[in-house]
Amino acid sequence: MTEAPLTDESTVRIALVVPDLLGTYGDRGNALVLAQRLRWRGYRAEIVTVLSSAESLPESCDIYLLGGGEDVAQQAAVSFLRRGNGLRRAVDSGTAVLGVCGGLQVLGTRFTTGDGKHHAGLGLVDIETRPGADRAIGELGTRSELPGIGVLTGFENHLGRSEVGDDARPLGRVLHGTGNGADGVEGGVTGRVVCTYLHGPVLARNPALADTVLSWAVGAPLDGLPDFPELERLRAERTRVRG
């Protein structure tokens, strides 16, 4: 993508990728949060919804968001995203991508579905997923290893257990909850591709992560936004909750 910082006149385009397949857990909320945090800072933002009936994924977007979905939907999402390979080119040019839950598995190298079948992921993050013995469901808290983010809070609901390979690093260390279910870590990051099991949606509960992703898209650090008290209180409440 463009190297120069975007001016206030530019529009930041946020792609909501195949929400008909990957969009089970209020995942659209991540796009709403990003767009609104841009508008509050005087940027123009546009949410581009790309359904699986589209020819292929447009490459002109500044942020790509992938949500959660069921096994069959995940496989359909992989075959859609392979078509044209636009997401790979976008990632190679430094575009920000956020994958949540099923999105994590789709962006990873490989996932095994509940029926025991192996499927190749898009391979944009070195992370591999196998089914666990039971679903991990509940509040999840982590301490992020990305700079300036701190504690992440969200809700997890997944059967998959994911292992972060050598070419990626975890998004955070688990404080409570299951996370990836291996090595006490959660999520995975390679460059500007961020994957996580946190929803809630994750960017609604964690404005620091939202602003990090936005600064990547805009190409410059962003001005702070005045905190609103409900969000502060929500984060305090949710990080206290266990289970």
Please check whether residue 5 is in contact with residue 52, taking contact to mean a CB–CB distance below 8 angstroms. Answer: no
Longest dimension (CA), the chain: 51
Min CB(213)–other proteins separation in Å: 16
Residue type, 206: N
Q: Is 101 a catalytic residue?
A: yes
List, in order, residues 6 or more apart from 216 with CB less than 8 Å away.
94, 96, 192
Residue 199 binds other proteins (CB under 8 A): yes
Is 39 annotated as contributing to ligand binding?
no
20 vs 145, beta carbon nearer other proteins: 20
Per-residue DSSP letter, 184: T
Residue 234 binds other proteins (CB under 8 A): yes
Exposed, middle or buried: residue 175 (CB in 10 Å: 0-12, 13-18, 19+)? middle
List the catalytic residue out of 101, 158, 176, 195: 101
Phi/psi at 74 (nearest 5 deg)?
-60, -45
> What is the per-residue binding string for other proteins in 73-92, x denoting contact by CB under 8 A?
x--x----------------
Residue 28 binds other proteins (CB under 8 A): yes
> What is the per-residue binding string for other proteins in 29-48, x denoting contact by CB under 8 A?
x--xx--x------------
Contact residues toward other proteins (CB under 8 A) are 19-21, 23-29, 32-33, 36, 51-53, 70, 72-73, 76, 137-139, 155, 157, 199-201, 204-205, 228, 230-231, 233-234, 237
